[in-house]
Amino acid sequence: MTPGISPDQVRAVLAALAATYHGRGSVELGDPYKVLTATVISQRTREEQTTEVSSRVFARYPDVPALAAAEEGELFGLLIGCQYPEAKAPRLIAMAKILQEQYVGQVPNDLDALLALPGVGRKTANCVLIYAFSRPALCVDTHMHRITNRLGWVETKTPEQTEKALERVIPEDLWIGSNRLFLQHGRAVCRPGIPRCSRCPVRFGCAYGQDSETAKR
């Protein structure tokens, strides 16, 4: 726990974010195959493009066996619109083949097994645990990394460091759904560059918002 940050303060900030974003941090569980595949597609890609590309991919490859048997050039064509389709196409096929051969076509409900899949890093694996299996995990993207540093909850350089540090800051019962709240807040108010502190619902609990001259604008 960062000195001076109490669990009650963390709960107050997350409650204010939940109230502001009207349940948009709520978690909808999905088919593990679709959650995993869509999360890989979403890497470095905007949400609108992710939704569009994922819909095309799932219409053609509705399950693990179909994706494992995909022809790379055809999958590449369907992936156009997301970032790095040339890298994601072979990785997705390789991933599906491993699921087919080692997990009888199922997505494993296990962090280490997920991390061993091609194209799956900690953020993707944690998102799958949350959104496919309702497991408590911290899915730390660039928004969550930036905002929790500004809040003063962590002092870290990378999302991976932030994930480790936040495990000691955010009570575990609040892990699920926290990513969606920070995503909404990072897009609307606590943006990269200059944040909009004057309209922020959690300024009361924010080190940057309380201290910075920039934040007084």
Residues that bind ligand SF4 (CB under 6 A): 147, 150-151, 189-190, 195-197, 200, 202-203, 206, 208-209, 215
Beta carbon nearer to ligand SF4, 106 or 216 = 216
Closest residue (Cβ) to ligand SF4?
209
Least distance (Å) between residue 23 CB and ligand SF4: 20
Least distance (Å) between residue 110 CB and ligand SF4: 34
Name residue, tokens 């040339």: 86
What is d(CA 148, CA 153) in angstroms, rounded to the nearest whole number? 5
Least distance (Å) between residue 152 CB and ligand SF4: 9
Least distance (Å) between residue 207 CB and ligand SF4: 8
Beta carbon nearer to ligand SF4, 32 or 209 = 209
Beta carbon nearer to ligand SF4, 14 or 95 = 14
